[in-house]
Every structure is written in structure tokens, then in C-alpha cells.
């Protein structure tokens, strides 16, 4: 088990120290992704508070997550269907 380390990330011009056993490069990429989403929300509405921007960014990220899950599920079903068809063809040609 990896030892926890402290990684400092900057989000909306504020530093956050995160205690993690994850790779620091990965943690920074995640923080950068979040920061980018927050900045996009704030750019669209100059009067939005950081708190409301965080909620909107969380909703946007969650929507992307659900879209990815749905795409993965559809792809898995497609591959399963095609695999069964190929298997049926191989079995029928071998008889």
C-alpha cells in the first residue's frame, strides 16, 4: 500500500493541499479538469458565485460521466452482439 503524500493543486486561484496515495500527476490533471470546468461556467455568467459555479460544474461533469457510461454500455452490448454472431457463423460453418 502506497504511503499518502500531500499534493497541492490550484483551483480558482486558491491552493488546496490534498492528502492522497494517487499519482501526483493524475491528481493535478483532475484538478486542472475541474478548474477548467469551473472557469467555463464562470465565464458564461459573470455574476455567478464560486459556490454556484461549483454546483454547475459538478452537474456538467456528472452529465459527461453519465454519457460516457451510456456509451460504454452501448459499445459493450454491440461487441457482445457481434461476438455472438461471429461465434454462430463459426459454429455453423464447422458442421
The mean-pLDDT minimum among 1-10, 59-68, 74-83 falls in 1-10
d(Cα 41, Cα 9) in Å, to the nearest integer? 19
DSSP 1: -
The confidence score (pLDDT) of residue 94 equals 72
- What is the pTM (predicted TM-score) of this model? 0.77
Tell me the β-bridge partners of 8.
17
The confidence score (pLDDT) of residue 1 equals 61
Helix (H, G, I), strand (E, B) or coil at 53: helix
pLDDT at position 95 over 80: no
pLDDT in tens, 12-60: 999 999 999 999 999 999 999 999 999 999 999 878 899 999 999 999 9
Q: Which of 26, 18, 16, 6 is nearest to 50 (CA)?
A: 16
Report whether 35 contacts 10 (CB < 8 A).
yes
Amino acid at each position: 500500500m502506497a504511503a499518502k503524500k500531500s499534493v497541492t493543486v490550484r483551483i480558482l486561484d486558491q491552493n488546496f493541499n490534498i492528502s492522497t496515495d494517487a499519482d501526483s500527476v493524475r491528481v493535478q490533471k483532475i484538478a486542472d479538469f475541474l478548474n477548467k470546468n469551473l472557469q467555463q461556467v464562470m465565464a458564461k455568467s459573470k455574476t455567478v458565485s464560486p459556490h454556484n459555479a461549483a454546483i454547475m460544474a459538478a452537474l456538467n461533469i456528472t452529465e459527461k460521466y453519465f454519457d460516457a457510461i451510456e456509451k460504454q454500455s452501448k459499445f459493450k452490448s454491440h461487441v457482445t452482439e457481434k461476438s455472438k454472431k461471429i461465434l454462430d457463423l463459426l459454429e455453423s460453418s464447422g458442421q
